[in-house]
Structure 1
């Protein structure tokens, strides 16, 4: 077995997202988001009545939640800001009460020796901006840059690692192409426009940060390696399309200044020709890239729209969300990123699994051996990539808490901390206790 090792300054943490854990989405003058609207439409949620109105009640329990983070030994905490708490109309007037919550959170984290990683956009677009076209409106890049400026000017310095967008692929694939996520559109012509404006917004925010910020800023993408089911030309071409659509559609413009050629084949007449100045805006120098990794995809050619590529189910372990457990894919992905895009520093900004956990803890304990096994194997995969020369600087486990899994409601538990949704009691699972030993030993415990 290869010995597992991590750099001395490796940053171990956990991640959450605002709408999934905060609750109180309209408190203290906040404006509604597209997820507030989406979750209150019973036709759209897997479990009628599941909303973010209470979630984990983190908005009211923040201090005790940070104390729990400290007790677990976390060195970092990646959280997101509810844009509508800060700017209820999405632009213009700043809601000081909403902004004060994030200031208190950051100050509490720092007082407990935990480094804050702040994500500006994790899917909860203000509803007022959706009414103006949302990400289909070219002005959205300016809206986002103005919001980013507010956050930078108030918190840069206390926050030294910023993320512009979380998973733009999910926003557009789920929200504009397939309708499974907010805002719930199903339109092939809208998806490329939304993707492009998200990337323009990313570039505009980075430009603002270079004016007013003094630390680090990056982009977070969810990517997964694509493997052809066979060596046939058709399967290889289908795999290239799937890779271009999910992985390179966002990384190529951000890192190389151009879109993959396959996107024109995928979208046909729905794929526009983008102005050169747009591509220059998107390609901003980044201090790091965050990688969210959950699974791989084995691809075969089929008649599916619009990719003409479909997944092949393997004989393997699958999570509650139907994702294959494949740690080798994380190593492959990290090496692929380095080989394609160079030595930009990387963080694993999300990685984790939903397995069955009971609704209530039993005698103060939640046993989750499948999650512990999952983490061990993925930590080893990261160590392997580091040994191959990939500059991976930290790991944020998804997720700190069981929470609202978007349109799936409370039916899937990703947390290392169990949440009893009836009482909101927090109970660290066995995986949390294991993770504490990993952090304390900087991974050395994995070699025992």
Structure 2
């Protein structure tokens, strides 16, 4: 393992990043090479990979096996689930999500990249930018991933030609710019050989940029949400009913963004009732202030009816509540999403009934054109939807908060996740069609 002391780790920053790309583009091999060459692999892990590789008749260790941990993945030779890996260098700590490349597992990329600050999109130098590359770029843009790395892999199979790399980088960058991706860094690599992954390549002296690891260690980390509008989705109401604390009533949850202070005036949504923070308990101890990602219990001065699913916010920064939500979504279920579809919408810790009132458009990935009123979205489609909820919800725009500006749609019959949505993220959409749903108790 990398020899990083506890003191050094306390002074480093954390970067969450994800890998994406088409099947067989070498994502798992890149991750394995990254872990191996940065000395972030335990000896017994490497020995297990060497044994598994030898049993398959391979002379060299197959570094992809470091991330393809499921038996089904090893048997098929493809990644089918999101594999999370944790490693560190003296400059930074990392949480890596290796996402599948096969088109049927595109939905998993939404999971892996939803909290990422950087996405590495791999392209096979022999194939260039393909439809799955464009889909992953579109998802990175919709998920507001601040940094995108284009890793042009398998350069050893195109004789390390600079023209091949330059052509792919130019095409992808132009496409990503149209999508609104703020930053693209293109790096030519060979994950199998190790060129420009951790160590600079001796085969591409025409490239003067950073290696993949150098870029990961130095890219600005912008996931500090402590200065955003404060949001606490209530997960649990604590009533100990003990003789020691007969009147204790606390509202527990993880702070999604911002910070809360004792004495601050807050509003409880969707009811709109107001109070002041009387106390904050963190790990059983009282504190004066708490901030994003900390799990805390808030105590209020007033006795207010609050339950799981409510949202506590500073009164000065309270979002509006609404029953009409417009969003861009990625459909992840095998069954299609249709107009008038009855669903459950989960936002934060609240789940409510909802109806898909309209699907104004579906995005065509080849040229970023819009197919108006497609009537349905099928697996891996990206489209625009309009939803009516049974109860008002306090939603933020996804551009303001990736936590409280997102939601999922759930099948009420079997609990399957249907769609991941980003509130307010939009492509230009045509006028909605008139809804002609029958009155079956789900119209709000």
TM-score by length of 1: 0.30
Q: Which has the higher contact order (CA 8 A, sep 6+)?
A: 1
> Larger helix proportion, structure 1 or 2?
1
Q: Which one has a bigger Cα radius of gyration?
A: 2
> Larger strand proportion, structure 1 or 2?
2
